[in-house]
Amino acid sequence: METRTLGRNGLEVSAVGLGCMGMSDFYGPRRESDSLATLELALDMGVSFWDTADMYGLGENERLLGKVLARRRDEVTLATKFGVLRSGQGEFIGLDGSPGYVRRACEASLERLGTDRIDLYYQHRMAPDTPIEETVAAMGRLVDEGKVRYLGLCEITADELRRAAAVHPIAALQYEYSLWTREVEGEILDACRELGVGLVAYSPMGRGFLTGKIRKRSDLAEDDWRLENPRFSEANLAENLKLVGVVEAMAREKGCTPAQFALAWLLAQGEDVVPIPGTRSMERLEENSAATTIRFTPGELERINGALPRGAAFGERY
């Protein structure tokens, strides 16, 4: 597995990471044994940049990763997040970026993960009642104490990123980015590059849609949250399948799968872009990892951008 560097202070990660959320939450039925086997294989293959959050599975996702970290901690570049609050029943109840909460959340994550350090610690969403400067300053104190190595932020504006970076170096901004979600391009991505902040692309295959394996709503489990997502509504799904058709056709020409095509396109957007596709499947993990072998010519990239321009998807992303 190739590696890439996030930020200006040397955070080296696998060029394709692993989003672990679906192993515990949101995307239908799952088996812990499958997830653990996939995590083990990921490390064997060098897919060592793992992404979780304290709210995934109400902490269960961190505990799941902890079972592998107990034996293979030094092989993992571990990222987790704080700040999104859920009730014991899983309902979203708010955001918290207060300095006291930052510390409590970090210490709780360290305990669940069974480790003494978090490699990349993100604020999951900015809390409107706490200035980002105060939150980042509190995160920075965790770096000073050795509990966290690098700082990250998620889904913030270019101005907010600049304000945060004035307080403490930011290694990475996590933002949804794929062939059907390109809002990060322009002002936000420009700010990342101005400040030397890497971009971690979550949902790089359009929440699985760009793989071509979701053709109708009944392909999703009854408890799959995508059924409530606007892009997966009956009307929008039909329109968005046309975009998938474009990806499938281009992938055939390139001799790869649609998933690999989507990931390779992201990798071609710059050495500072790192996708973190999520999967519970060893087969899909192997498929995704092979995307690093695919290269596009400038002409091919221009053609892709023309066929799948920014704003092409039907429906809001949330």
Task: Say if CB 289 and CB 1 are below 8 A apart.
Answer: yes
Q: Which residues contact 42 (CB under 8 A, 6 or more apart)?
A: 18, 48, 50, 285
**Side chain identity at residue 206, one-letter code:** G
Beta bridge partners of 285: none
Q: What is the DSSP letter of 281?
A: -
Neighbours of 301 (CB within 10 A): 13
CA pair distance 182, 175, nearest whole angstrom: 10
Q: Would you call 150 a catalytic residue per the annotation?
A: no
- Find, among 202, 244, 208, the residue nearest to 226 by Cα: 208
Among residues 56, 150, 175, 177, which one is catalytic? 56
CA pair distance 6, 125, nearest whole angstrom: 20
Task: Say if CB 186 and CB 193 are below 8 A apart.
Answer: no
Q: Which residues contact 8 (CB under 8 A, 6 or more apart)?
A: 169, 196
What is residue 28's three-state secondary structure? coil
CA pair distance 51, 36, nearest whole angstrom: 15
- Find, among 78, 5, 11, 81, the residue nearest to 42 by Cα: 78
Q: Which residue has the tokens 């053709």?
A: 215
Q: Which residues contact 307 (CB under 8 A, 6 or more apart)?
A: 246, 250
* DSSP output for 169-192: ---EEEEE-BTTB-TTTTHHHHHH
State the virtual CA torsion across 216, 220, 226, 228 in degrees, nearest 10.
80
Active site residues: 56
